[in-house]
Structure 1
Amino acid sequence: MHQYLALDMGAESGRLMAVSIGNQITTNEIHRFQTPVATDRHGRRCWDLPKIIDEITTALSKAANTGTYLGLAVDTWGLDFGLIDHDGKVIDLPVSHRDHRTDGMLEKASSLVGRERLHNESGCQLLEVNSIYQLLAITNQTPDEFKKAKHLLFMPDLVLYALTGVIGTEYTIATTSGLYDVVNDQWALDLAKDLNIPSHIFGKVENPGSIRGVISKSLQDKTGIGPITCIATASHDTAAAVFATPLSSPGSAYISSGTWSLMGVELENPVVNKTTLEGRLTNEGGYNRSIRLLRNIMGLWLIQEVRRDLKESGFDLTYAQLVEQAQAVKDPFASLIYVDASIFIHAGGMIERIQRFCKTTNQSIPTTPGELAQTVFASLALQYTKTCDDLAQCSKLEMPAIHIVGGGSQNQHLCQLTADISGKEVIAGPVEATAMGNAMVQAIALGKDSNLKDTKSARALISRSDLGVKSFKPTQGQDQNTIAQIRARYQKLTLEDMR
């Protein structure tokens, strides 16, 4: 039995997990923290990197007292990054994709190079929060940052840099940027040039499982963790989660369910065409330079923000309580929202925006916590179903089942709604797929576990471990005409992309 440390960071919270690998795989949470945000000198919503490193230092100090670990790796959400100057210092705090600086940047980029080129030269979904539009915002708003910058480091690489002092760029996280040409497996430098984004900041892209370095001597001394090897795992959290998803058959869809819901299918080669452009599908990298054809769906961010609004109004409800109240709603499809409308991207005032959307689209306005939660859950299940259809069309695969991994797999109500609306079996779990995938890529890189050599053997390990995976099948006797009508209602709402 060998142990690895997986630092799994989400936009809501981060945690350091101890992952033990032998005949089975198990996890143990060592330290959890809220992902800290701050406001910088430009008034932008940022990730508080110094506080993040403080939390990681605390986590490593705790880990030093719990066992011996062969490796450490970091996975995070995609899109966001920090810039490093010629002296090796971080230029300002990394800005969150939830900041308003990208407002209008997709439209501006489209006017400069065209929507088709933005998609065709990256294979990426045209999502206004993507790195490419954050970089365009710097060009237009704070160009002095580029005058100082020598390197661009995405969040997992930025954290590894803080831990090791070594600069590097990992493949799976680079492909989330909108500036990586997945067809030709290289940076889309001509596209960057035509958007006035400097190309020198983009470094050599390394495979998942590359050895990045050893934790710095100062951190060793501060935490007592010792000279642990740091590995660039499949560092986009979705790539790590998919690596640990025990797909029931080729062509099964997956949803990595957290703040974002990333729904896709594994392919050997990217798919870039008019259908992927119009369906807002993206090609992102996976382990061994595979491709994940997927869509970024707004995800549990919606219910997280609803819960925060309720708490500020004096209703401090747990997620479990919100699910329970949602299940009690008499008309579960009375109110629906298009979950990917740009009106829902930013933080604050989510309840008011949900109600405004419903009012504008002539629907019942949800007012109680249960009605608001059910509006979110029903709408997510409908978007999952719609995306599954788009993925099947583009991939030419049948999509026999939908696998849900991550925190959202614990929401049995959402899982059953998805099964009922899609008409497909939903397989939920493992909950800790991201940390497990993170650690298994480490194990393969270090070669210490003879039973782990590739994706197939990793998923076999997941399948034989007791991880509480559950199956949800469509409820028998459903009125398919009613389901079809609900899906048609949702399809009309997808045209309502309001601000």
Structure 2
Amino acid sequence: MKNKKYFFAVDLGATSGRTIIGHIDNGKFNLEEVTRFPNNLIEQGGHFYWDIYALYLEIIKGLKEVARRGLEITSIGIDTWGVDFVCIGSDGAILRNPRAYRDPITFEAMDDYLAHVISKKEVYDITGIQFMNFNSLFQLYAMRREGNSALEHAEKILFVPDALSWMLTGQAVCEYTIASTSQLLDPRTKQLNERLLTSLQLTRENFGKMVNPGTVIGVLTEEVQKLTGLGAVPVIAVAGHDTASAVAAVPAKDENFAYLSSGTWSLMGIETKDAIINEQSYERNFTNEGGIGGTTRFLKNICGMWLYERCRTEWPEEVRKLSHPELQGSAMQVEPFRSIINPDDALFANPDSMIKAIQTYCRNTQQPVPETPAEICRCIFDSLALRYKQVFQWMQELAPFRLDVLHIIGGGSLNKYLNQFTANATGATVLAGPQECTAIGNIMLQAQTAGLVGDIWEMRQTIARSLELVRYEPTDEDAWNQAYEKYIKIINK
């Protein structure tokens, strides 16, 4: 075991984080979780912050454990959620814990910026990024407008994975995939846009050097080496945005695929050589984010299992005690397509009661109101699959190549009922897996940098050999086509 070379992945989400080790053996990868920890929001003074120091200490804790086991670490890679950033002063100190994207300061900032600084259409033409009030562009604008002292004194602004890599190495970079989530990057030039920066009273020098996934940032500082008991281990800029790392792990055989990263949010997209920015993509609110190998992830956010997860917290204890297969199995016994919703309606963004929101939507659209957990669950699954069909059709219209298969990755890839519904609705072959796609992508990009695998397609072949994908073929296509006609009528009421 000590002779094997291991890769150390840090995978941080908005509620929890993990450190993971992985290695490649006989052409297959293997993963093992080292530590798991919460990522807690700090609410103070009417604002929400991330505890960057706590995250740093958790990384150190994971590295100490690896050193205790006597494992040889080839490299380290960090991926996190998007858009958030850390302000660094001229003396090399963190000026304040970073604001969290849930901070209320951005609620009105987007509309104000688009009305008074640069128009919505112009911003989209530059960035190709969908509009969300918490994008870095609007966070920075809101902070500048409030006279935020950390921003006023910042010499460097580092996105969260880059900030943590800086804390480990002392080297400041701006990794391409995480930078692309900011709505500051032009996907054509793959650089931060000067006009947008100027509108925020910032310059290109306020950010680190732009690097692509697979770049060596630096090695652990002497301080970190002493803390962990490790040597001068390289830190790699993997795909710093967790979705980019996840898409890197799609076990596709060629470019003719779409992916659905299925979890609380569903992200459906394709991987393209160039950004797709036109009237259709603007009207349908598609986004162009950075991918591996200089590619673009052309995708759309869809409200995913958030609907189901929120309802589950509201149901009586005897329902909550049911396993997911038990509850979802009961939903398969009720009438299909009885009640249909648009999962992306604003009514479902963050209601006090998701059950009541679903019932209100059905009532307002003159449909039968679902009452039982089984009826509500069936409504959610039917509606998500029909929404997936709509977005899949849009993507097929916009894609420069045909889409032969839909890969479902992430935690939702275990949901056999929704996977089958998705195949039925879209008419596409669905391949489900892997579940641990983000960590796999992180580690495989490190392995690629180390020369253990070749290009992205060899990387994906290694992933495909390492797991068994579950295949779903379309059935009941006539019934689903009729349901889709009903869905279109309902969402347009």
Which residue in 2 is equivalent to 1:39? 43
Structure 1's 483 and 362: CA in aligned 2 closer, same or farther, altered over 3 A?
closer
- Structure 2 residue matching 1:461: 3-state secondary structure: helix
Matched, 1:14 2:29: no
Which residue in 2 is equivalent to 1:214? 219
Which residue in 2 is equivalent to 1:122? 127
1:169 Cα offset (Å): 1.1
For residues 168 and 224 of structure 2, the distance between their equivalents in structure 1, rounded to whole angstroms, comes to 7
Structure 1's 188 and 355: CA in aligned 2 closer, same or farther, altered over 3 A?
farther
Structure 1's 90 and 275: CA in aligned 2 closer, same or farther, altered over 3 A?
same
**296, 299, 302: which is aligned to 2:304?**
299
1:126 Cα offset (Å): 1.9
Which residue in 1 is equivalent to 2:61? 58
For residues 203 and 314 of structure 2, the distance between their equivalents in structure 1, rounded to whole angstroms, comes to 40
Partner amino acid for 1:115? K
1:362 Cα offset (Å): 4.2
Which residue in 2 is equivalent to 1:192? 197
Question: Is the contact between residue 266 and residue 301 of structure 2 (CA under 8 Å) also seen in structure 1?
Answer: yes
Partner amino acid for 1:21? I
Q: Higher Cα Rg: structure 1 or 2?
A: 2
Question: Is the contact between residue 40 and residue 92 of structure 1 (CA under 8 Å) also seen in structure 2?
Answer: no
Partner amino acid for 2:134? V
1:478 Cα offset (Å): 4.5
1:476 Cα offset (Å): 4.2
For residues 95 and 323 of structure 2, the distance between their equivalents in structure 1, rounded to whole angstroms, comes to 37
Partner amino acid for 1:388? F
For residues 331 and 284 of structure 1, the distance between their equivalents in structure 2, rounded to whole angstroms, comes to 39
**339, 346, 349: which is aligned to 2:343?**
339
Matched, 1:460 2:465: no
- Structure 2 residue matching 1:38: 3-state secondary structure: strand
- 1:69-112 CA-partner distances (Å, limit 9, x unpaired): 21110111212222222233333332332333222333223213
Partner amino acid for 2:63? L
Question: Is the contact between residue 98 and residue 345 of structure 1 (CA under 8 Å) also seen in structure 2?
Answer: no
Which residue in 2 is equivalent to 1:496? none
Question: Is the contact between residue 319 and residue 327 of structure 2 (CA under 8 Å) also seen in structure 1?
Answer: no
Alpha-carbon RMSD: 2.7
Pairing 1:70-219 to 2, within 5 Å after superposition: 70-112=74-116, 113-194=118-199, 200-219=205-224
- 1:173-224 CA-partner distances (Å, limit 9, x unpaired): 1111111001122211202323556655333211111111223444433333
- 1:408-452 CA-partner distances (Å, limit 9, x unpaired): 1111122112111111111111112221211121122233x2xx1
**414, 417, 421: which is aligned to 1:413?**
417
Partner amino acid for 2:191? Q
1:269 Cα offset (Å): 1.1
Question: Is the contact between residue 33 and residue 55 of structure 1 (CA under 8 Å) also seen in structure 2?
Answer: yes
Question: Is the contact between residue 173 and residue 207 of structure 2 (CA under 8 Å) also seen in structure 1?
Answer: no
**254, 259, 269: which is aligned to 2:259?**
254
Structure 1's 89 and 366: CA in aligned 2 closer, same or farther, altered over 3 A?
farther
Please list every run of 5 or more consecutive structure 1 residues that lacks an aligned counterpart in the other structure.
Answer: 494-499
- Structure 2 residue matching 1:397: 3-state secondary structure: coil
Identical-pair percentage: 34
Question: Is the contact between residue 136 and residue 197 of structure 1 (CA under 8 Å) also seen in structure 2?
Answer: no
Which residue in 1 is equivalent to 2:447? 443
- Structure 2 residue matching 1:272: 3-state secondary structure: coil
Structure 1's 59 and 333: CA in aligned 2 closer, same or farther, altered over 3 A?
farther
Paired residues in the alignment total 487
TM-score, structure 2 normalization: 0.90
Structure 1's 216 and 374: CA in aligned 2 closer, same or farther, altered over 3 A?
farther
Question: Is the contact between residue 253 and residue 461 of structure 2 (CA under 8 Å) also seen in structure 1?
Answer: no
Which residue in 1 is equivalent to 2:401? 397
Pairing 1:288-367 to 2, within 5 Å after superposition: 288-310=293-315, 316-317=320-321, 320=324, 323-324=327-328, 327-328=331-332, 330-346=334-350, 349-367=353-371
Which residue in 2 is equivalent to 1:26? 30
For residues 231 and 315 of structure 1, the distance between their equivalents in structure 2, rounded to whole angstroms, comes to 45
Structure 1's 227 and 300: CA in aligned 2 closer, same or farther, altered over 3 A?
farther
- 1:26-47 CA-partner distances (Å, limit 9, x unpaired): 2112222232222133x22332
Matched, 1:223 2:223: no
For residues 100 and 360 of structure 1, the distance between their equivalents in structure 2, rounded to whole angstroms, comes to 30
Partner amino acid for 1:298? C
**282, 288, 298: which is aligned to 1:283?**
288
Partner amino acid for 1:64? A
**372, 380, 396: which is aligned to 1:376?**
380
Which residue in 2 is equivalent to 1:267? 272
